[in-house]
Structure 1
Amino acid sequence: MRSRSGVTPPVTTSPVTAAGDDRPVEPVTSFDDACQQVTAYLKQAVPMGIWFVSRYDGENQVYLTVADSVYGAEPGISMPWSQTLCRHMLDHPTSRITPDLDADPHADPGGEPVAMRESYQVSAYAGVPIQHHDGHLFGSLCGLDPSPQGEQLRSHEPLLRLLGGLLGCVAELDLHRTDLQRRLLSTQMESETDELTGLTNRRGWDRLLVLEEERYRRLAEPGAVLYVDIDDLKVVNDSAGHSAGDEHLRHAATVMRRTARRTDVVARLGGDEFCLLMVGLTTPQVADVALRMQAALAAAGIHASVGQAAFTCAPTFAEVCAQADQDMYAQKTQRKQARGATGR
């Protein structure tokens, strides 16, 4: 149901109680609210060493919400998807609820997940996929325990499938709401533009990073930042004057805006430094965008150095930007050395 404004209202639930708890459950207003309530409920109703909700970002499994009394896991940790039990179990539906991994030959993942299982001392597994309505995998709802469980664990599969399906619906609604918020923010940021290029200015960029970091902590939507430094602005200023330098920057801004996706944010931090924020891309895709951006600028006669860094829960987004900045300056140094070696 939509409001008259066309914006999907927050998902709410009736006050219900968790197992063994007569306190009412708070209304669900976001995906992370739903994850916290589901993992807390399962920790009591289906006791396991850990219950968690994860996001599959195309490369890694990122823990979003964790209810853990055994493993010491925390939200934000990640591991390569190929090394996770969830990857194996989601590929083999008959093994999604396995009370004793050692006693079930069909549950043997083989390969890299074995090392992960031994490292975490996992003997029992219960997990279901969290999917969008089109079947696209968002992540998983999963429980692990270091000790084998009884066969009664299998009886909880319908409950887990129900909860996983509900989390998929809430995740999709939250992502849709996030997309609407980004579009609204883009409109609001029209007043936070760089006068020379018409791009987002530093104040708008800093405000955007704060909001995107909060969204990433909730949904772990993959993405990255690019830092772009125009190599030859000083040469243009010295040889043709500052008016020509300004036109050079405007031209660079036009090329970057044309090369970026409609949903990307392109900003000018000042001088010859630009940056882009891109959501929904994996690390290989970001590397491809960086190469295409550099090639597009070069084709327009603009030499530039480009650095990149992916979103991650470990550092703050300010540190992610610093990583991209360092990557850009490393490339800039290499380019200067290469030009010096060739006498250009």
Structure 2
Amino acid sequence: MMNDFAAASRATMQFLRQRLGFKLWMVTRTDGKDWIVLFADDNGYGVKAGQVYSWAEMLCSRMVEGAGPNIAPDVAREPAYASAQIHDKVTVGAYVGVPLRRADGTLFGTLCGIDPEPQPERIRDEQDMVVLMGELLGGLLEAELSGTEAVRKAERNDVDSTRDELTGLYNRRGWDMLAAREEERCRRYGHPACVVSIDLDDLKFYNDTQGYASGDALLIRCSKALKDVTRGSDVVARMGGDEFAMLMVECDYFDAQAMLLRVQETLAGYDVRASIGMAMRKPGIDLEESLAMADAEMYRAKRSRKVLN
């Protein structure tokens, strides 16, 4: 095994393919209703890293529930597996799967393999070995994820020179650098993330009627509000002029909705009026695309506010 989760996953899948055969081996991540392929060793199914499937349809979901065994040489003989919806999409004759868990016992994903043909009964004898491989991968994963906060702190220190002088937030260059590093983690571990785009409604009015010092004060109030609602691992940036952005790391849709409400309430508490857009980063939509989507939603909100006013 290697000391890197990605490299170790690939080495594990290659070893299992050589040991047990099977046309497809995968290391996956579960995220709500989604089952995300992080790494794949595919020889016939056409599965690639980044593809997303329904968790409820997968044999792995039933394995994790304890409804089916870790190794099924002939899935047709396992009622829990034989009735799975995945059979409507692909041919599965044999299955191997073990959970990948965090140190606290929560499910991260699975290490699994499938083949279109039933396999000899003797592959059941390999269960202890496959379970051990899953535990080793889980331990390596936990070590990497546990060190993520230290890595993020070091990254923030590296880009401290990219701060906006007025607000103390990161500027666009700092945002681009940190977002690129978070995107790498999202791809590697299947982390969800949320991007928020914020545009102040009244900056020009303050500058024109009360002077630039008043406009600067508005920008500072906005930055303080955004700092109040974000965690140390998140990224908050002044993208330029009256535009701000937030990157909420390892944030699923439900957490994102709650966070968006806090942003709105906190901005109001600082007497800041703003138009806001939000988008989720998920497989197939990277952080750069998520920012563009959040921007588009923010501009729609701004146009609606102007119509109402």
Shorter-chain TM-score tier: over 0.9
The answer on whether the counterparts of 2:195 and 2:287 sit within 8 Å (CA) in structure 1 is no
Q: Does 1:248 align with 2:218?
A: yes
User: Paired residue for 1:74, among 25, 40, 48?
Assistant: 48
Which residue of the partner structure matches residue 88 of structure 2? 118
Q: Does 1:297 align with 2:262?
A: no
Q: Does 1:52 align with 2:52?
A: no
Which residue of the partner structure matches residue 151 of structure 2? 181
> Which amino acid is 1:259 matched to?
V
User: Paired residue for 2:256, among 280, 286, 299?
Assistant: 286
Q: Give the C-alpha shift of residue 106 in structure 1.
A: 4.0
User: Paired residue for 2:120, among 114, 136, 150?
Assistant: 150
> Which amino acid is 1:46 matched to?
L
> Which amino acid is 1:54 matched to?
T
Which residue of the partner structure matches residue 17 of structure 1? none
Partner SS state of residue 299, structure 2: helix
Q: Does 1:141 align with 2:111?
A: yes
Cα distance in 2, alignment partners of residues 141 and 285 from structure 1: 27
Q: Give the C-alpha shift of residue 249 in structure 1.
A: 0.7
- Name structure 2 gaps, 5 residues minimum: none
Partner SS state of residue 52, structure 1: strand
Which residue of the partner structure matches residue 168 of structure 1? 138
Instruction: Tell me the TM-score normalized by structure 2.
Output: 0.94
The answer on whether the counterparts of 2:3 and 2:140 sit within 8 Å (CA) in structure 1 is no
- Name structure 1 gaps, 5 residues minimum: 1-12, 14-27
Partner SS state of residue 39, structure 1: helix
Q: How does 1:270-281 map to 2 (within 5 A)?
A: 270-281=240-251
Partner SS state of residue 231, structure 2: coil
Which residue of the partner structure matches residue 38 of structure 1? 12
Which residue of the partner structure matches residue 83 of structure 1? 57
Cα distance in 2, alignment partners of residues 262 and 237 from structure 1: 32
Q: Give the C-alpha shift of residue 86 in structure 1.
A: 1.4
Q: Give the C-alpha shift of residue 108 in structure 1.
A: 4.3
Farther off after superposition, 290-299 or 198-207: 290-299
Cα distance in 2, alignment partners of residues 93 and 62 from structure 1: 21
Q: Give the C-alpha shift of residue 312 in structure 1.
A: 2.5
The CA RMSD measured in Å over matched residues stands at 1.7
Q: Give the C-alpha shift of residue 45 in structure 1.
A: 0.7
The sequence identity of aligned pairs, in percent, is 38
Cα distance in 1, alignment partners of residues 106 and 179 from structure 2: 27
Which residue of the partner structure matches residue 176 of structure 2? 206
Cα distance in 1, alignment partners of residues 100 and 221 from structure 2: 44
Cα distance in 2, alignment partners of residues 59 and 298 from structure 1: 34
Cα distance in 2, alignment partners of residues 80 and 244 from structure 1: 51
Cα distance in 2, alignment partners of residues 208 and 99 from structure 1: 46
Structure 1 residues 236, 117: closer, same or farther in 2, change over 3 A? Answer: farther
Cα distance in 1, alignment partners of residues 238 and 136 from structure 2: 41
Cα distance in 1, alignment partners of residues 20 and 150 from structure 2: 37
